Amino acid sequence: MSNFFSALGDIFTNESLYRNAIIATVVLLFAASGEVVAEKAGTINISLEAMMLAGAYAAAVGQGRAGVWGGLGMAAIAGLVVAGVQANMSHRLSADQFVVGLVLNVLVLGIVGFLVGSNEPASHIVERTKVPVLAEVPLIGPALFDQPWVLYLVYPLVPAIWFLVYRTRWGLEVRAIGEDPNASDVSGLSVNKLRRQTIYLTGMVAGVGGGYFLYARSGRFEDSLIGGRGYIAIAAVIFGGWTLKGTVAGCVAFGLVGSLVLTIPSLGYQAIDPAFLAMAPNVVTIVAMTMFAKRVRQPAALARPFIRGLK
């Protein structure tokens, strides 16, 4: 038993645990902060994975041609392109949003794999930027304030999303169509147009998230870079009860689990099968969805297509 507690002490006092957890949390936050807005409007974007992967590839291409800022701009555009297909297929042509999302995930993976095979883009991790004083706080300080500077973009993003959803007329309309699209339509709101707009927002933010992950952790693009994080981001929204603060908490929880998967083997603890550690984030995702999906109230019209005159 003493060995067990000693191991826990080693793991949870290791600085790399918190560094990796924050990096993993932030990539989920980029995706989930946009997704929670879209789901407030009644849509589910299974194509979140494709948006992030397209953004990561575009960021890799853009970094070599226009620098990091140019790469992030291209990442946002790439995510927006994927979102445009999702939005218009699902909320203009009334195709099934789940089918569209799954097809996009497979399609983008195939396109990116082909492009990488013919011309692999060169990219690299961006430099760390240390915030004085705050970075000196033990364990948490370096994790939050001594990281690649692209990570700091998420700090204004989350408050901006909150303000957009809860303090603007547009946000009020988005929440209204997610609860009762028919009443919103009678009130003069364009339900499907608003839903498309939320998906566009999600695509841009998720695309930037893919670029961030490339610049902050990997430095080298591979078609397996995102590795299911789009699905985990959707689970974080459900875990958080379709609230922004709950979604942030979900991203932190999943990010910590992902960091433990990396930290435990690096400290020399081999008692746990590496194969189990590799699947741990997905297991936790499934368990969390099972526990919380029925305990929280989702938007009433979530995943229900809107066709005027039909209920």
pLDDT digits (tens, 9 = 90+) for 68-99: 999 999 999 999 999 999 999 999 998 999 99
CA angle in degrees (0–180, nearest 5) for 112-104-97:
165
Q: How far is CA 300 from CA 124, 167, 235, in A?
A: 44, 21, 18
CB of 220 closer than 8 Å to CB of 62: no
What is the C-alpha to C-alpha distance for residues 262 and 239, in angstroms, rounded to an integer? 23
Average pLDDT over residues 295-310: 80
The pLDDT assigned to 311 comes to 57
* Residue-range domain boundaries for the chain: 26-227
Helices (H), 180-269: 181-186, 191-213, 229-239, 244-266
Average per-residue pLDDT in the chain? Answer: 89
DSSP of 250-264, one letter per residue? HHHHHHHHHHHHHHH
> Is 261's pLDDT higher than 90?
no
23: tokens are: 């990096």
Q: Kindly report the backbone phi and psi dihedral angles of residue 12, in degrees, each rounded to the nearest multiple of 5, phi listed first.
A: -85, 0
156: tokens are: 């204004």
The pLDDT assigned to 243 comes to 92
What is the C-alpha to C-alpha distance for residues 71 and 209, in angstroms, rounded to an integer? 12
Per-residue model confidence as pLDDT tens digits over 155-198: 999 999 999 999 999 999 999 999 999 999 999 999 999 999 99
What whole-number percentage of the chain has pLDDT above 70?
A: 90
Q: At what angle do helices 229-239 and 274-292 cross, to 10 degrees?
A: 40
What is the C-alpha to C-alpha distance for residues 277 and 263, in angstroms, rounded to an integer? 10
The pLDDT assigned to 260 comes to 82
Which residues 6+ apart lie within 8 Å of 231 measured at CB? 46, 48, 49, 285
> Is 257's pLDDT higher than 90?
no
Count CA atoms closer than 13 A to 263's CA, side-chain side.
22
> Is 1's pLDDT higher than 70?
no
249: tokens are: 């908490």
What is the C-alpha to C-alpha distance for residues 12 and 9, in angstroms, rounded to an integer? 5
Give the pTM.
0.92
The pLDDT assigned to 45 comes to 94
* pLDDT confidence band for 303 (50 / 70 / 90): confident
What is the C-alpha to C-alpha distance for residues 210 and 206, in angstroms, rounded to an integer? 6
